[in-house]
Amino acid sequence: MSSQYAAFSTEQTCADLETDAVNGLTSISSISQRKLVHGENILSSDEEDSLIRQFLKQFVSDPLILLLFGSAAISLLLGNVSDAISIALAIFIVVTVGFVQEYRSEKSLQALNNLVPHNCTVIRFGKEQLINATGLVPGDLVRLEIGDRVPADLRLTDAIDLEIDESNLTGETTPRSKTTKTQPNAVSLAVNERRNTAFMGTLVRHGRGKGIVVATGKDTEFGQVFLTMQETEKPKTPLQRSMDQLGKHLSMISFAIIAVIVLIGFVQGKRWLEMLTIGVSLAVAAIPEGLPIIVTVTLALGVLRMSKNRAIVRRLPSVETLGSVNVVCSDKTGTLTMNHMTVGKIYIPGMKFVYTLPDSSVEKIASSNLGFEKLLLAAFLCNNSKLRDQKAHSMFESGYVGLPVDVALAECASRFGMQDPRNSYPRLSEVPFSSDRKFMSVVVQHAHQKLCCMKGATEYVLGQCVSYVTEGGLVLDMTETMRNEIFEREREMASTGLRIIAVASGTSFEKLAFHGLFGINDPPRENVHESIKCLLASGVRVVMITGDSIVTALSIARTLGLPLPNSDEDASGTYALTGEQLDALSPAALRELVPQVSVFARTTPQHKMKIVSALQSHGDVVAMTGDGVNDAPALKLADIGIAMGRQGTDVAKEAADMILTDDSFATILAAIEEGKGIYNNIRNFITFQLSTSVAALSLIAIASLFHWQNPLNAMQILWINILMDGPPAQSLGVEPVDDDVMEKPPRPRNAPIITTHLLRRVLLSAFLIVVGTVFTFKLQMRDGVVTARDTTMTFTCFVFFDMFNALGCRSETKSVFELGMFSNRMFNIAVGGSLIGQALVIYFPPFQAIFQTEPLAFKDLVVLAVLASSVFWLDEFIKWYRRERGLTHSKSTYLLRHV
């Protein structure tokens, strides 16, 4: 709505809203009526379900949860209360995690209200009054001062040196200079181009002004971000989709096999109660009720590890999704860069080259250089920044506050050891910077004489100069040759994306001496270049999205190492797109072009969502980083939203799946590595669980087909189920991350968790377990009679196979001896505990009665251990063979190794 008033003059705006540019609204009834029509000036979501209703909905939202309920019911029918309790615990954990995720996602909407000020100064009936900002209505006249947060969208009627920080809405670091001039084409302009409008939630950095409220609440630009977030649904993670499919398929196959086994038993004349008991036991063993809880525990432990590495994960499934990310869309300001303007280059007339900062050699030169001293002095005097805290924690935290350019110059002078000289140079007058003048000037008093200082655009400052100061401090007459050299240096510095500030001083503004140029930019964060290089090498694309100009964006992108041609002409339109170009593209055209683009400039929140959607339409798993309100919708839409913990807004943090507490892009690299490791661990324990489940079902099926007495009774099957879903399986989820995990390319979005290789591994292990167990069973019952010793040998053989199989499942590609036998302490404890439990089942009389077992001799255990170890040794041989044949990594991974 505010865009239409940007095209109106102040007179037209007042007429349309029936208000006055001096006295504001003058009718109580009119204010009340407008409040009824437009509502309160707040961002409120639609009526939501109660917390209890949201929690209960989680129980029917997942087919696997319903299957778990069935499994719990079967356990109760068997009288196995402990198993039913464990299943209920799994259900509770899964449901609670889902509920917390849904609840937290809604908090991102509420966080927007934190940026709406509680109070504001409004002019009504010709008098200023302080009111609650929620009471504003269209037509109100609002006064703005330095430090005020804009309470609604305003059409400015007065703007005196007014500059507003819109970074949390547009992503631009530089405060926007505001004016009252009409913009006829405002409807088609982006938010950051509407110079006669102040937007809700932005911050006044300089000057003062007044404006008429033209939009409140959801009608504001902030409100549009709010509505976009409200309409955006968080996509399911690849892991959630894979687990959904796995649960359905396993359950259907298992129930079909169990039904066939029970039917065969009835046909063969076996007692129906015996077959029903076996069938129910197999159902409990076959249904993957332990899978959700093991996945949850694995993800939760991953969250704990990542928190120690300065990454806070808010949605558990997001941990694994990080391993599938193949595109990282990063906001530039505050994410790839410091969001803190600083001096990067300095030029003094006559210098052979431009000095680059920070550089210790430059500081040594400056300490004995009179030209440097005069340049820094003039820049410090012509400066409105203020010192907030004299205890600086770093070169970027000097404690100065004010306009970014002023802060950058003050910090630069301080870096070279200059104390703030302004107390010794009382200011007599000031001409503040404006977009029309393009310079700032001051007159100060020193030693009974006046000193005039000026800083601003090079052409304006240089136009007032009749001389220049060299590095050595000599004052020489300005020549045409020197003017051309200065302009050449300016073009050279500006081509690298720097904002150029020229500085001069003298006894009068008509006879200034030119001191030099400062190149100011928002520098890249530490280790960003190296992190991007590693991500690119591991098959992850990095796309930069910013509200800055295309020239600045391309310069930063090249500095960071993004793949771009050397010239802007080659990059524009193919490797880089502006928001305006993006708007001109159809969805199909954007979808076709987006895989080639590395830089998007002059973007809005809507643009960011288009980019994320276009990438996702290719099947890409997209991570989106950001820190501002403008990033929040895209953070929510992306598969992984990553917010900055230090400089990020509450809105961005609430919308994100992960928060970087150190604001370091490099932390994303570690998070992706952790995500890949967790996915490998999930595959490992799924391999273990499936091979055990398939073996148990196959063993009973074979016995039924050949009219054998069942080799395992119901309680023994349930004990195997406890081992399959218990400590051994869970300990596989905490296996340390492989060192070479980043050499593997990201997993495609639609890639099934059950691959052909995994299935072959499962079937081979299950085959060996069944063959070995059947061999033991048939060997023991040579006399044709099944005794307690026979079933105990068979049962123990199966358990030993299970433990050796778990040992081989620690890694899909690496030998256990390469991993280290004792590298996973939890695994050793779990397997040791399981073997102790098996010993109790065999040798402890009360358990012997329950499980129908009898003691075995030591040599029996040795023979069974040697036989059962075959599943481990065969797995080790296959891993060795695949490594020798180069089958462990894909071709693309092999190439990445040699980049």
Nearest to 740 by CA among 683, 817, 813: 813
Report which secondary-structure segment, H or E, holds 49: none
Q: Let me know if 270 is exposed, middle or buried by CB neighbors in 10 A (0-12, 13-18, 19+).
A: middle
| DSSP-derived secondary structure letter, 334 | I
How many other β-carbons are positioned within 10 Å of the β-carbon of residue 388? 10
- Give the C-alpha separation, 101 to 773, whole Å: 45
- Give the C-alpha separation, 740 to 732, whole Å: 18
- Give the C-alpha separation, 543 to 615, whole Å: 11
Q: Let me know if 561 is exposed, middle or buried by CB neighbors in 10 A (0-12, 13-18, 19+).
A: middle
Report which secondary-structure segment, H or E, holds 476: strand 475-477
The strands making up 640-644's β-sheet, listed across from edge to edge, are: 311-313, 658-660, 640-644, 622-626, 327-331, 541-545, 599-601, 576-578
Report which secondary-structure segment, H or E, holds 149: none
Torsion region of 708: left, alpha or beta (phi above 0 gives left; psi -120 to 50 gives alpha): beta
- Give the C-alpha separation, 412 to 397, whole Å: 12
Torsion region of 385: left, alpha or beta (phi above 0 gives left; psi -120 to 50 gives alpha): beta
Alpha helices by DSSP H, listed for 382-518, are: 404-415, 458-462, 480-494
> To which residue do tokens 């309920």 refer?
69
3-state secondary structure of 480: helix
Cα 385–391–397 angle (5° rounding)? 60
Alpha helices by DSSP H, listed for 506-604, are: 528-537, 550-560, 568-571, 579-584, 587-593
- Give the C-alpha separation, 883 to 869, whole Å: 21
Nearest to 764 by CA among 704, 690, 660, 819: 690
Q: Let me know if 756 is exposed, middle or buried by CB neighbors in 10 A (0-12, 13-18, 19+).
A: exposed
Q: Assess contact for 786 and 709: CB atoms under 8 A.
A: yes
540 phi, psi to nearest 5 deg: -105, 120
87 contacts: CB under 8 Å, gap ≥ 6: 68, 71, 72, 75, 289
| DSSP-derived secondary structure letter, 268 | T
- Give the C-alpha separation, 178 to 146, whole Å: 13
> To which residue do tokens 């005020």 refer?
148
Q: In the numeric block, which tokens belong to residue 8?
A: 């109106």
Which residues, listed in sequence order, are joined to residue 330 by a DSSP beta bridge?
544, 625
Side chain identity at residue 324, one-letter code: S
Longest dimension (CA), the chain: 121
| DSSP-derived secondary structure letter, 397 | -
Q: In the numeric block, which tokens belong to residue 624?
A: 């989106």
How far out from the chain centre does Cα 634 lie? 10
3-state secondary structure of 121: strand
| DSSP-derived secondary structure letter, 328 | E
3-state secondary structure of 129: strand
**331 has catalytic annotation:** yes
Q: Assess contact for 615 and 593: CB atoms under 8 A.
A: no
498 phi, psi to nearest 5 deg: -85, 150
- Choose the catalytic residue: 331, 522, 548, 875: 331
Q: Among all residues, which ones are annotated catalytic?
A: 331
